[in-house]
A and B are shown apart, each in its own frame.
Chain A
Amino acid sequence: MIRRILPAVAGLLYAGAGFAADVSLLNVSYDPTRELYAEFNKAFAGAYQKESGKRIEIKQSHGGSGSQARSVIDGLQADVVTLALAYDIDAIAARGLLATDWQKRLSENASPYTSTIVFLVRKGNPKTIKDWDDLIKPGVAVITPNPKTSGGARWNYLAAWGFAQKKFGSADKAKQFVSDLYQHVPVLDTGARGATVTFVERGVGDVLLAWENEAFLAQREFGKDKFEIVAPPQSILAEPPLAVVDKVVDKKGTRAVAEAYLKYWYTKEGQEIAARNSYRPRDPEIAKKHENSFAKVELFTIDDAFGGWSKAQREHFSDGGVFDQIYKN
């Protein structure tokens, strides 16, 4: 045993010495950005090395946005957080890990790419799902993750609520609609990727409420002959924000590079990478170039429809909030 382990450990130390980068960052992100950051990190590392001559290694951790935020609060040493929604970063800020005005430190609400919520249905759209109110038709099973842990799930919920509020004109009716909707949800996965796996692989449900980029990815991976994307006439403008975690970067001395990393999103290259991975770019020029890749959806913002994240979070997702009232278990 010892003879078996010793070379392994020696090899480990040796290899560790060989691969060491000059700088290393940990990016704690949400679920569907795996492919996005794989490409972005490679591009940034190249650009950074060209400019500074230093080798950088960016480590990723992915999971449901809420649970990732909690891991950071619990002590996961993230240099940057790139989560699904502003509230999750607010929650980290509330524990004193970064400045509370973090969202003003970068332009565009600190969200260099945006997305929206669309429907992924099975081939031929057998349940003819076209708009939000089709989701509560009898016999339709809807897959969406758990709003307590997943950021995408909260966007899904708020998109449905926003639709109902506009269509039926009152908060009570919106609550009724969303409550009906969750009666059609057989499973709440903890993250958006888990929900996608449930829908595409486990074959559960008729429609997946998904990030636009996640829907495109599932279609790419499993083929257009199996799934169709349905864009509802209106949906929510999802703004996944980024921030540097002050406490961590100051301790590790990585502030400059962490800031450069996030700013890289605002370059043409960064915006191109976002568009290529089916995230909507902010840069008008790049957006124009890719406009045919994205469906025309009337988008409302969280500020317009809900008065901002902290209000929405408090009303809907806190303990005993609206979601707890309608989804009792």
Chain B
Amino acid sequence: MTMQLTHSVSLTPPADKARARASAAAAGIRTEPKLVRIAVITLAVLFLTVFVVLPLVVVFAQAFSKGIAAYLAALSEPEAQSAIRLTLLVAAISVGLNLLFGVIAAWAIAKFEFNGKTFLISLIDLPFSVSPVISGLVFVLLFGAQGYWGAWLREHDIQILFAVPGIVLATTFVTFPFVARALIPLMQEQGTQEEEAAISLGASGLQTFFRVTLPNIKWGVLYGVLLCNARAMGEFGAVSVVSGHIRGETNTMPLFVEILYNEYQFVAAFGIASLLAMLALVTLVIKAILERHLDEGQP
């Protein structure tokens, strides 16, 4: 297998773990003195505990600091409910769009050879490393009343900025690379032989795609969708710039966390935050399951 460096983190599942276990258990030559081992493990565990475990624990501790009744009350506020609904809606639309595009883009990039591939891949990756604030800013420049298309939009009575479409656009931009990035290496590895075989046996292009390509990549698709969804639901910076912060209408969950925090409603702020944290944890569990499937699927 060609060395498959994952480009963006977690966008490509790690390689076969079974092989790793075997190699790690190899001869004693390949290990360090006990003292060094203990020091390295302690350092790693300590670092992860301070930087990852404690912040997670703090979210739940704060959320439940006034008891479970206060927690549930905070979550059942109409504005909280509407933030949750909006977040689900926006994530559903942008994940759907990026799913469609991601599969097509990965197909085009993996199965065909053309000049400027690195450049194209870099463009697809760009939203991944652009500051979320800039991702929001570009849409203000386009759709704001002072922006390039602002006057036209106002004339035709179309509201994009400070409304759901703007939030969806910003979210779609930010989550743009996820599905494509998860699929490109997978499809490159699989090559084109199976498709060629199907076509030579008389299958149409669409048939080939649905009967041959899709089953091969289905776990990768789910993997990309999962990460795309996690980012879509959690996006803050980009959405914050385009939202207008209308309560009960254009506040997503992460924005609502900030508002509650600034209103000194810490239990409510951490309550919403705890929902998002749970989403993150569920995402990681599903991710672990998908990675097992992906590993099995590998030759």
**Which residues from chain B contact A60 at a C-beta distance below 8 Å?**
246-247
Report which A residues bind B (CB closer than 8 A).
1, 5, 8-9, 11-12, 15-16, 19, 26, 34-35, 57, 59-63, 71, 73-77, 95, 193-194, 197, 221-222, 251
Partner of B88, one of A8, A61, A197, A221: A8
CB within 8 A of B159: which of A62, A75, A95?
Answer: A75
Question: Could you say which of B46-54, B68-76, B202-210, B222-230 contacts chain A?
Answer: B222-230
Interface residues contributed by chain B, number (CB under 8 Å): 34
> Which residue numbers of B lie inside 8 Å of A, CB to CB?
78, 81, 85, 88-89, 91-92, 95, 140, 143-146, 150, 153-154, 157, 159, 161-162, 222, 225-226, 229, 244-249, 259, 262-264
Q: How far is the CB of B270 from chain A (nearest CB, A)?
A: 15
Q: Contacts A1-B225, A60-B247, A193-B262: A9 and B146 contacting too (C-beta < 8 A)?
A: no
- For B248, list chain A residues within 8 Å (CB): 57, 59
CB pairs A–B below 8 angstroms (25 shown): A1-B222, A5-B91, A5-B92, A5-B95, A12-B85, A19-B78, A26-B246, A26-B249, A34-B263, A59-B247, A59-B249, A61-B245, A61-B246, A61-B247, A62-B245, A71-B162, A73-B145, A73-B146, A74-B144, A75-B153, A76-B161, A76-B246, A193-B262, A194-B262, A251-B157
Note all chain A residues with C-beta closer than 8 A to B145.
73-75, 95
Report Cα–Cα, A59/B150, bound state, in Å.
24
Question: Least Cβ distance of B144 to chain A in Å?
Answer: 4
A-B pairs, top 4 by smallest CB distance, nearest first, are A74-B144, A76-B162, A75-B145, A8-B88
B222: A residues at CB distance < 8 A: 1
Give the docked Cα–Cα distance between A5 and B232 (Å).
13
Specify which chain A residues have a CB less than 8 angstroms from the CB of B78 in the assembled complex.
19
Distance in angstroms between the alpha carbons of A283 and B48 in the assembled complex: 60
> A5 with B144: in contact, given A34-B263, A197-B262 (CB under 8 Å)?
no
Chain A residue with the shortest CB-CB distance to B140: A74
Q: With contacts A5-B92, A9-B89 known, is A59 near B144, CB below 8 A? A: no
A204 to chain B, nearest CB (A): 16
Q: Which residues of A contact B262 (CB under 8 A)?
A: 193-194, 197
Closest chain B CB from A47 CB (angstroms): 20
Q: Give CA–CA (A75, B222) in the complex, Å.
A: 38
